[in-house]
Structure 1
Amino acid sequence: MTGGRQRRKRRLREARQTTAVVTHISSLPDDIVREIFLRLPSLATLVRAACACRAWRRAVSSSLAFRCRFRALHQALLLGVFFDRERGDLPVFAPAKRRSDPDVLAALRGGDFCLTTLMEEVDDKVPLGWRPVDCRDGYLVLVNSATASRNLIDVVNPLARQRPEYIGMPTLDDDTALTADLHLLSSDEDPMSFRLVYLFHDMSRTRASRVRVAVFSSETWDWRVLPWVELEHDDGANQWLQFGTQAKGLVCWGFTEQERMLTLDTKTMKFSVRELPPCPDPEPDDAFFRRLVVAGESKDGALCIVRVAASGIYAWLWLIDDDCGGGDKWVLRNILKYTGVAAILHTTDVVAIRDGFVYLATSDTVLSLCLETWKLEKLFSMGNYCEDFYPYFMAWPCSLVGNYGRFAVLQDQDGPSNDA
């Protein structure tokens, strides 16, 4: 009798243990985990949740389809801005005011937004004197402005806390080349690799100009200088191009006369010149400061060109036909105008466009403007006006990338997909 009761107790205990193992939250199927994670409010929340256990981290890092869906459903998360105040030794970071979001605060605490790794590497050959020139996909591109180190570039990921690896400037055999702009190109297939595109232009000849780019690859750690490309140009000024912005696989530079735009296809490295629609109320020809013509993307992926004019903010939405040879055909889809900030338009400039949100800077404030709802939101104050202003958006972290730094697509390609 006693032996029978003991056997029943043992079987009940084993059954309870088996049930506990089966129903433990870490044992959920990967497809269920991903469906739950798609409903999280932000990328910062996803990172904390996925890193809670190995199974969840594997579920996220192994699926390229999940990453694409999550990005499509969630607005790019602005963590703050880097700016160059009075050409100091290092750029200053101003965090976005999200005091009620513990996940964003955790990301800020875990990152190196004071760029202390650059302070640790200071010596006679590399003194402090870094200024920002681009910020994209989690990387901040810096150029050393110290007298003895003007030929150094560094690409920093504040959330990764990696040691600096300095990049030398490209060498050109043409003294007439003027440096114009430096941009970082990242890769969705391998987010730990990147390219740099350095634009040069030549104003040595009258009423004509030519441009060329040098391309740096983190795979080879070397520059490749491409040939000169002739352009028709009749401005006569040395600084005839504005600073560039990126959208839809293009780097776009507005002409200072604001009627045309130079574009570079980052896949083919082919230059094109586009005619821009006339602005209904352009700035006068003798305007002291020409504001930027900025390129970005709308929420549905259309190319968006935005500029601030005398009476409002104008946005041109374009559809690009990729079947016409590298996006050679642009179709104007819509023109939008916003006049809600008329009182401060004289001090307002566009600094970035991401996922249908236009990010604006006034003399002391950072604002966001939604192109769908026209809702204008004050993000945070800057204190003093800064000429060089670079929004920092949280990128997909290396900790959620499979296969030792490269995307693990085995589950998406070789095996049955659970993301259908």
Structure 2
Amino acid sequence: MATATPDLPDEVLEDIFIRLDDASDLARASTVCASFHRVVSARRFLRRVRSHHAPPVLGFLYGNTSPGFLPASDPRGAAPAGRALARAADFAFSFLPGRTTRRWRVRDARDGRVLLSQWSVILADLVVADPLHRRYVQIPRIPHLLVTSLADFYMHTFEPFLDPASDKEKEEEETLPFRVICNVLSESKVATFVFSSVTGEWRGVTSFSFRSYGAIRHPGSLLRHYASRCFYWTHDSWNYLLVLDTREMKFSIAGLPPNSHGRRRAIFYAGEDMLCLLTLAKQKLELHWKTLGDSGFGVEEWQHDKTIPLPDCYRYTILDAAEGYLLLRGAPRLLSSYANSSQQVPESQYFTLELKTMVAEKLCSSDQTVCHAGAHLYASFPPSLSLPSI
């Protein structure tokens, strides 16, 4: 006998459903009956969900050469939603223009969108794509007049990335507007341009010289981090942070703890005006923090908080830090013993570390060896709860 569902007003059902802790619970609730599905699938309610709950990590994109996606496979986590996403979405991006003749490179992923650029072109063609709904927006090239304003320094690196949507935009907008930020870097200077989906135009916003803090020989090796409306760049050979405050679109330089030099790093926001730094070295993560002052980065010194040991059976690499998680690759330590052996080489293990709780979970395994510049965490709701992002 079918179980009767309570006859409650939609507003009451919304208030009940919004309190569910897990997006998978919400997806299951939507299958109970037609009235539940109507409430859960309504755009107004999904906008509330998007603003009140962080979407789960369903896998990660890779693509320094050919784009691909590794879904979550750990049965304790988001594996069912990750597999459903992998089946429903086109992470080969076969729907993009000229796909058979162009090579597209994944540059960033946020808010269900993926930013790609044409391969091996300095001021490349850019596309913002929604792989789940197979939609895309072709971004015009930066106008020639803006580019010629950079004639006073030689361009080494073209770095496009997405500016995350604000909480207000997530709650109020029918379809989230998006902004593409593009840095053009030399060894000692950066110029920044911004494209808005609202205006459909690029504008030059700022330039900044960091020559007095030392040149960066390979600016393409700068690693980008995002926390609390600011972007941060680190470099293995440089013990400073290059900081871009997106509220004022101004750059600044900040110091790092002396003992973090030469280590892989991740920057994240831990709430309550606390900025955190994770460094990786010798099978352990070191956590530092400092308070963000009213004027931005703050003037106090970094404080060491704790040491987080990692299992000794892998060699670890920080691949990405986004959506409240750190993505780590664990490669088997004794790969050389398999070089002249008929045994199958063990797969790399990929882990997420929830940055607020410092709880690590296995995300997936794969024979794909993904480098730190080519991995992008993909957080979204299950396909049945995902609105088009473009």
TM-score band, normalised by shorter chain? 0.7 to 0.9
Residue 40 of structure 1 pairs with residue 20 of structure 2: yes
Fraction of identical pairs, as percent: 23
For residue 340 of structure 1, what is the amino acid of its counterpart? L
Matched letter for residue 265 of structure 1? D
Look up the match of 2:183: 199
C-alpha distance in structure 2 between counterparts of 1:170 and 1:246, whole Å = 27
Match of 1:307 in 2: 279
> Which aligned pairs between 1:268-279 and structure 2 lie closer than 5 A?
268-279=248-259
Equivalent residue of 2:210, what SS? strand
- Cα drift, residue 160 of structure 1: 2.5
TM-score (norm 1): 0.71
Amino acid at match of 1:391: L
Mapping 1:286-365, distance limit 5 Å: 292-298=264-270, 302-310=274-282, 312-321=284-293, 324-325=294-295, 327-329=296-298, 332=302, 335-345=305-315, 347-355=316-324, 357-363=325-331, 364-365=348-349
Cα displacement (A) at 1:183: 1.5
For residue 39 of structure 2, what is the aligned residue in structure 1?
Answer: 56
Aligned match for 2:95, one of 85, 100, 117 = 117
Give the direction of change, closer, same or farther, for the CA distance of 1:301–1:399 in structure 2 (3 Å limit): farther
1:265-318 Cα deviation digits (max 9, x unpaired): 1111011111111226x54xxxxxxx5422223377743222212352122233
Distance 1:55 1:83, change over 3 A: closer
Q: CA deviation at 1:79?
A: 1.3
Does the CA-based 8 Å contact 1:77-1:394 persist in structure 2?
yes
Q: Normalized against structure 2, the TM-score is what? A: 0.76
CA distance in 2, matches of 1:183, 1:97: 28
Distance verdict in 2 for CA 1:341–1:372, change over 3 Å: farther
Structure 1 equivalent of residue 339 of structure 2: none
Secondary structure of the residue aligned to 2:375 is strand
CA RMSD of aligned residues (A): 3.5
Q: How many residues align?
A: 351
Greater share of strand = 2
Alignment correspondent of 1:228: 207
Structure 1 residue 213: deviation in Å?
0.4
What secondary structure, in the 3-state scheme, does the structure 2 residue paired with 1:341 have? coil
CA distance in 2, matches of 1:300, 1:353: 18
CA contact (8 A) 2:232 2:244 kept: yes
Equivalent-residue separation in structure 2 for 1:353 and 1:114 (angstroms):
22
Long gaps (5+) in structure 2: 332-347
Residues 338/46 of structure 1: CA separation in 2 closer, same or farther (3 Å cut):
same
- Structure 1 residue 98: Cα displacement: 4.9
